Amino acid sequence: MSRNPKILLVLALVAVVLMAFRVSWNALRDVARAIGADHTAAVLYPLVVDGLMGLALVASLVLSASDRKFALRVLAGYTAASLVLNYDHGMVAAIQSGSRVHLADWSPANWALMLLATSLPVGSIAFGADLVAKVLHHQPDPDQSAQTTIKGSGSDLDQSADPAPVESVYLAPVLPPAAVPAAAPAVIAAAAPAPVLASVPVAVSRPRRATGTVPTAAKNRQPTRTPAELLDEARSATAGWPDAHLTADRIRAEVHTSSVNARTLRDALKAERGIV
C-alpha cells in the first residue's frame, strides 16, 4: 500500500473514533449529572472513561508479556463499563433530563449502577497512572532488538577461512614402562631404555570449509590404538615367528603402525622372549 492511501485510512479512522466519542460523551455526561456531578465534572466525565480506553489501547501496543495483558484487561473493563452506562442512558428516559435521578427503577440495580459510575473516575486515576508508569519503564525485548541480518557477497562466502596448510596435531602413542610384562625382569633391566615415540607433525594441505566443520569423508575412520592394544596385537601376530624374523620392519608391516612404534614393540617382544 502506498503512502497516500494509508494517510487517508488513518484520517478516516480518526474521524470515526471522534464521532463515536461524541455520541458516547453525551450519554456519559447525562449519567454524571444523574449521580450528582456539577457542570464541569459532567463535561469531563466522558474523558475519564473513554479517554482511559484510548490510553489502554495505546499501552497495549507498546507493552509486552504480562504488562500487555494488564493493559488489555483495563481496556476491556472500561469498554464494558462505558457500554453499560450508554445502555442505561438509552433505557431510562429520566437520565436524559440532565438532573439527578435514579439510574434504574429497581433499587439493587440502581445501587450497582451508582457504584459503577462513581468508581470509574477513581479507577481511571489508579489504572491510568499504572499504565503510564509501565510504558515509561518498559524495556524492549532483547530477543527482538538483537535480531540482525548479516548479508555477504557470494565471493566472500566461497573463500576459505584459512587457506594455509593445516598442521596435524596427532601424537603417536607412547608405550609406558607398565605395558611391558614382568616375564623376565633381569633381562629388561639390562636392556637399553626403549625410545620415546615423538610426535611427527604432518602438513596436510586441504582447504577448510567456510562453516568450519570437517567433511565426513575426511575424518579418520581408524580408531587410535593405545600402547597396550598395540603390544597385544603385535604379540598375537608374532606368536609363531622365529626369533630371527622378529624385526621392526616385519612388525610394522604386520601391525600397520609407525617405524618408531615398531622398534618399541620389537624391543618389548624380545624382552619377553629373553633375547638380548
- Lowest-confidence range among 9-23, 70-84, 143-157? 143-157
Give yes or no for residue 144 having a pLDDT over 70.
Answer: no
Which residue from 120, 84, 96, 100 is spatially nearest to 30, judged by alpha carbons? 96
Mean pLDDT of the 43-56 span: 90
Kindly indicate the confidence band of residue 217, based on its pLDDT and cuts at 50, 70 and 90.
low
Distance CA 99, CA 93 (A): 11
Kindly indicate the confidence band of residue 111, based on its pLDDT and cuts at 50, 70 and 90.
very high
The DSSP call for residue 141 is -
Higher pLDDT, 76 or 258: 76
Which residue from 17, 14, 81 is spatially nearest to 45, judged by alpha carbons? 81
pLDDT at 101: 87
Higher pLDDT, 197 or 40: 40
pLDDT at 184: 45
* Neighbouring C-beta atoms of residue 207, cutoff 10 Å: 13
Distance CA 218, CA 220 (A): 7
Mean pLDDT of the 83-107 span: 87
Higher pLDDT, 273 or 213: 273
pLDDT at 155: 44
- State the alpha helices, DSSP H only, in the chain: 3-34, 39-62, 65-91, 107-136, 142-145, 154-158, 185-190, 227-237, 248-255, 259-273
Residue 245 dihedral angles phi and psi, to the nearest 5°:
-85, 0
Residue 244 dihedral angles phi and psi, to the nearest 5°:
-70, -25
Count CA atoms closer than 13 A to 262's CA, side-chain side. 16
pLDDT at 71: 92
* Contact between residue 56 and residue 74 where contact means Cβ atoms under 8 Å apart: yes
Q: What is the separation, in whole angstroms, between the first and last Cα of the chain?
A: 95
Domain boundary assignment for the chain: 3-139, 162-205+224-273
Mean pLDDT of the 42-51 span: 91
Chain center to CA of 209: 27
Give yes or no for residue 199 having a pLDDT over 90.
Answer: no
The DSSP call for residue 161 is S
* Contact between residue 58 and residue 67 where contact means Cβ atoms under 8 Å apart: no
Distance CA 109, CA 151 (A): 65
pTM listed for this prediction:
0.48
Distance CA 46, CA 29 (A): 6
- Lowest-confidence range among 21-25, 57-61, 106-110, 151-155? 151-155
Kindly indicate the confidence band of residue 83, based on its pLDDT and cuts at 50, 70 and 90.
very high
Give yes or no for residue 190 having a pLDDT over 50.
Answer: no
Kindly indicate the confidence band of residue 14, based on its pLDDT and cuts at 50, 70 and 90.
confident
pLDDT at 81: 93
Higher pLDDT, 113 or 180: 113
- State the alpha helices, DSSP H only, in 162-226: 185-190
Q: Residue holding cell 478516516?
A: 12
Distance CA 275, CA 240 (A): 16
Grid coordinates representing 224 are 587410535
